[in-house]
Amino acid sequence: MHGQMSGTDNRPLSPISLFINDEGGYTTVAMAIALLLSITLVLFAGRTQWSLSRAAEVQEVADACALSASNVVARYATCAQVCDALILSMGIAGLVTCGAGLVLSCIPGVQPVAEKTIELGTSVLESRSSFARSAVSGLSKLEELVPALVALNSIATVEANEGDGISYAGVAVPLPLEGQSDFSNLDTEIDTRSIEENASRMQDAAERVEEAEQRANEALIRGWMADCGQRPRCMRERAATLAGLGGGQNPDYPTYESWTFGAALVRARTYYPVRLSTDSPEYGTLEALVDSCARKAFYEYAIDCLSYAYYSEFADGTVDLYLPELPHNTAETRATSLYTDVCWPCTQEGDARVLHATLACPGALGAGSGYASLADIDSGLVSRCEECQMDVTDMGRVAAASTNIDNGFEHYWREVVRASRDYEVALDDRREAEEELEGVSEGGLDAFQEALELLAVPRPHIVPPGAWGCVAIVARTDSHEVPNRLGGNLLDPASLPPGVAISAAMLAPDDSAEGNSLLAHLFDGLADSNPVLFEMLGGAGSLWGALIESYDDAYEGIAESSTEFLERIDGVTGSSVGSWIRGKVEEVVCAAGLEPRYTLWQTPFGFKRPRVSPGGGWGGISQAQRIILSLGPSPDAAAILRALGMEYIASLPSSTITIAEIPIPGTGMSIPIEVDLSKLAGGP
């Protein structure tokens, strides 16, 4: 037989007939086989998708591992920057406070405040130095722990991503493995002895300025009182009573601040011509006539003396003045032109030439014989008249009568003259002391600038382990069976083979305001938890806070905060030298260039390829691949670390580390700045 017969027509069966019937439709066998193949393909596709998805997850785990490792580095960098910000801001706050003390040292009358301000600034600088030393030590110790923290955090991240029967082994490596940070400039000592010594000399000079200023004011008040401030009698009252001066000819000055010695000079120059023109004998006696003649001679002498008087004020606060003192007794009269001027009439009486007060004298009987001086009587050149008895004693009596008792104009003029001399001397002494103060202030500014230059040294070079990046190596350990639901009896058992992925992350600047916020919160926390410290610091503490908040604004913000602090110093406007040195201090601060090295905070960023490894001294991805292949199919984290030359540490010996302490001035106490290592390593 060549074939099997089908049906009644004895035709042989075709293989296709198993799937397609005589009518052209699909047979049951065809439908069953098609359904079986479809199910098998679906299961195979699902198995493939599951395998590919699980295989790709190792790369995601590696990426997360690298980022978590770089997070540790970023946190360490933040710790270092915070310490740098605190140290820099404390240094500036202390020095600017010392600068404020220098300014106050120039202001007369505030020496105790100046000394206290200098002491406060010095205590802040001492706290800064102590804090800096502890920070350098603490940061160095913390930097040594960074590789271990990186490893622990990355291992914890890998383990956290296990699930669905998939296990991983992996770790991240910081590059460089050893830190290369340089904190050598962080604990630079700021010696304030020169500032303190100059401040002391400035205070001594300022005291002399104050003493001279006080003498000048006292002299000015004495002069004003004698001229128009004293009641019931003074020059103004005497001028009104004796000469009838009033109104604009005899002005009043209600306060000594509105008065000058020039006002008294003008009043005297107005008074004497009026007295000369109106004087006459008070009685019809010869004695009254002689007194009137003597008074007129005295008035003429006063007018002549006052013509040489002067008063000028200058921009530097000094004056140039000369007010003549008039004689007030016979002895002083002999020393003036009243004694030597040839102005008294003479007559020839017999053999004698006689001097008279006036030719109206009853004793002037002979012929006129010219004029003579009162000194000629004492020298014997002329004789004294026996009637009027005019001589230097009479002239001295006239001067004494109006000077030695308080009802004479000359009495108060003498007080004005003597006060003017004291005033001029005091102003000259004040100017001399101010010049000395300005010279000493230059030395104080030089010391202040030298101290600022020490603060302006390069900021710390922060290069911790991982500064160039972190490379993560993650392996999917062992093979993993594909779930039975993805094949069952239709597909042969299958497994997902081991796999390895490499990833990397680096730190990059973050231009958000997080840094300022972090520092501000830190300062607020210090202030809230340590009120004693900030009560002692006072304005310096407020300045410190302002400097911390302006840290990311570089030195422009520092200069602005410092200037605002200096402008709030009470009494600065009361001293020209104080205002001058304040401006100089502001200039020095603005020109110091106190700009932080890092003004942007660091944030981790991942990379698909480990392009950070060459910067860390690795040969690149090929060397990483060789390390992976050398570990075998199922490496663990410890094996990976050993292959990379790192020591495996299962846990840290301590949960916290004190990286620095801020001493509280004058208490012997300090505020610890602690770091929770578990949080630094990625813990909750």
167-188: per-residue pLDDT in tens? 787 888 888 888 888 887 777 7
Residue 546 to residue 539: CA distance in whole angstroms: 11
Q: What does the pLDDT read at residue 337?
A: 95
Q: What is the DSSP string of 446-494?
A: HHHHHHHHHHTSPPPB---TTTTEEEEEEEE-S-EEPPGGGTTTTS---
For 118, phi then psi, to 5°, come to: -60, -45
- Is the pLDDT at 258 greater than 90? The verdict is yes
Q: What does the pLDDT read at residue 468?
A: 83
Q: Are residues 225 and 256 in the same domain?
A: yes
Q: Does residue 14 sit within a domain?
A: no
Residue 405 structure tokens: 């008792």
Looking at residues 61-68, what average pLDDT do you find? 87
User: Pick the residue with more confidence: 23 or 53?
Assistant: 23
Q: Is the peptide bond before 663 cis (omega within 30 degrees of 0)?
A: no
* pLDDT-derived band at 682, boundaries 50, 70, 90: low
Q: Are residues 476 and 598 in the same domain?
A: yes
Q: Does residue 282 sit within a domain?
A: yes
Q: Label each residue of 196-208 as H, E or C.
A: HHHHHHHHHHHHH
User: Pick the residue with more confidence: 336 or 561?
Assistant: 336
C-alpha 48, offset from chain centre: 68
* pLDDT-derived band at 416, boundaries 50, 70, 90: very high
Residue 417 to residue 332: CA distance in whole angstroms: 15
Q: What does the pLDDT read at residue 492?
A: 46
Q: Are residues 368 and 409 in the same domain?
A: no
Q: How many CB atoms lie within 10 A of CB 668?
A: 7
Q: What does the pLDDT read at residue 628?
A: 64
* pLDDT-derived band at 342, boundaries 50, 70, 90: very high
- Is the pLDDT at 614 greater than 60? The verdict is no
602 burial class (0-12, 13-18, 19+ CB within 10 angstroms)? buried
Q: Are residues 114 and 230 in the same domain?
A: no
Looking at residues 541-548, what average pLDDT do you find? 59
Looking at residues 294-305, what average pLDDT do you find? 96
For 296, phi then psi, to 5°, come to: -60, -40
Residue 130 to residue 149: CA distance in whole angstroms: 28
Most confident of 131-145, 270-284, 346-360, 445-459: 346-360
Q: Are residues 515 and 630 in the same domain?
A: yes
Q: Are residues 237 and 320 in the same domain?
A: yes
Q: What does the pLDDT read at residue 15?
A: 64
- Is the pLDDT at 456 greater than 90? The verdict is no
Q: What does the pLDDT read at residue 654?
A: 63
Q: Are residues 165 and 295 in the same domain?
A: no
CB hemisphere CA count around 162 (13 angstroms): 15
Cα–Cα separations (whole angstroms), residue 4 to 9, 28, 29: 11, 21, 20
For 212, phi then psi, to 5°, come to: -65, -40
- Is the pLDDT at 339 greater than 90? The verdict is yes
Q: Does residue 18 sit within a domain?
A: no
Looking at residues 649-665, what average pLDDT do you find? 70
- Is the pLDDT at 646 greater than 70? The verdict is no
Closest CA to 581 of 676, 682, 449: 449
Q: What does the pLDDT read at residue 55?
A: 53
Q: What does the pLDDT read at residue 4?
A: 43
Non-local CB neighbours of 111 within 8 Å, separated by 6+ positions = 105, 203, 206, 207
Residue 646 to residue 639: CA distance in whole angstroms: 10
Q: Are residues 431 and 499 in the same domain?
A: no
Cα–Cα separations (whole angstroms), residue 241 to 244, 255, 283, 416: 6, 22, 19, 19
Question: Which domain range does residue 466 map to?
Answer: 45-188+457-679
Dihedral (Cα; 324, 328, 331, 334), 10-degree rounding: 50
Residue 561 to residue 93: CA distance in whole angstroms: 10
Q: What does the pLDDT read at residue 297?
A: 96
Q: Are residues 338 and 380 in the same domain?
A: yes
User: Pick the residue with more confidence: 378 or 5?
Assistant: 378
User: Pick the residue with more confidence: 425 or 282?
Assistant: 425
- Is the pLDDT at 198 greater than 50? The verdict is yes
Q: Does residue 10 sit within a domain?
A: no
Angle between helices 392-403 and 409-455 (to 10 degrees): 60
* pLDDT-derived band at 130, boundaries 50, 70, 90: confident
Residue 291 to residue 279: CA distance in whole angstroms: 10
Residue 441 to residue 205: CA distance in whole angstroms: 10
The DSSP bridge partners found for residue 170 are 474
User: Pick the residue with more confidence: 465 or 106?
Assistant: 465
* pLDDT-derived band at 3, boundaries 50, 70, 90: very low
pLDDT > 70 fraction of the chain, expressed in percent and rounded:
65
Residue 23 structure tokens: 């009518």
User: Pick the residue with more confidence: 38 or 60?
Assistant: 60
* pLDDT-derived band at 417, boundaries 50, 70, 90: very high
Q: What does the pLDDT read at residue 2?
A: 42
Q: Does residue 5 sit within a domain?
A: no
Q: How many structural domains is the chain composed of?
A: 3
Q: What does the pLDDT read at residue 372?
A: 97
Pairing of strands 352-355, 383-384: parallel
Q: Are residues 51 and 91 in the same domain?
A: yes
Query: Which of 391, 413, 433 is a domain's end point?
Result: 391
Q: Is the peptide bond before 281 cis (omega within 30 degrees of 0)?
A: no
Q: Are residues 228 and 319 in the same domain?
A: yes
- Is the pLDDT at 389 greater than 90? The verdict is yes
Pair 100, 117: CB distance under 8 Å: yes
* pLDDT-derived band at 121, boundaries 50, 70, 90: confident
E strand residue ranges, 160-263:
168-175
Element (H, E) at 562: helix 554-567
Q: Does residue 398 sit within a domain?
A: no
Looking at residues 630-639, what average pLDDT do you find? 65
Q: Does residue 32 sit within a domain?
A: no
Q: Does residue 30 sit within a domain?
A: no
The DSSP bridge partners found for residue 672 are 661
Per-residue pLDDT tens digits for 466-512:
888 888 888 776 555 555 544 455 444 544 556 677 888 888 776 65
- Is the pLDDT at 536 greater than 60? The verdict is no
pLDDT > 90 fraction of the chain, expressed in percent and rounded:
27
Cα–Cα separations (whole angstroms), residue 275 to 126, 247, 468: 73, 17, 99
Q: What does the pLDDT read at residue 179?
A: 83
Pair 578, 114: CB distance under 8 Å: no
Instruction: For tokens 């998708």, name the residue.
Output: 49
Pair 588, 448: CB distance under 8 Å: yes
Q: Are residues 516 and 425 in the same domain?
A: no
E strand residue ranges, 165-212:
168-175
- Is the pLDDT at 601 greater than 80? The verdict is no
For 381, phi then psi, to 5°, come to: -75, -30
Residue 16 to residue 525: CA distance in whole angstroms: 87
What's the one-letter identity of residue 683? G
Cα–Cα separations (whole angstroms), residue 267 to 14, 253, 262, 279, 407: 152, 12, 9, 18, 17
Pair 81, 183: CB distance under 8 Å: no
Per-residue pLDDT tens digits for 213-250:
899 999 999 999 999 998 889 999 999 999 999 888 99
Average pLDDT, the chain: 77
* pLDDT-derived band at 271, boundaries 50, 70, 90: very high
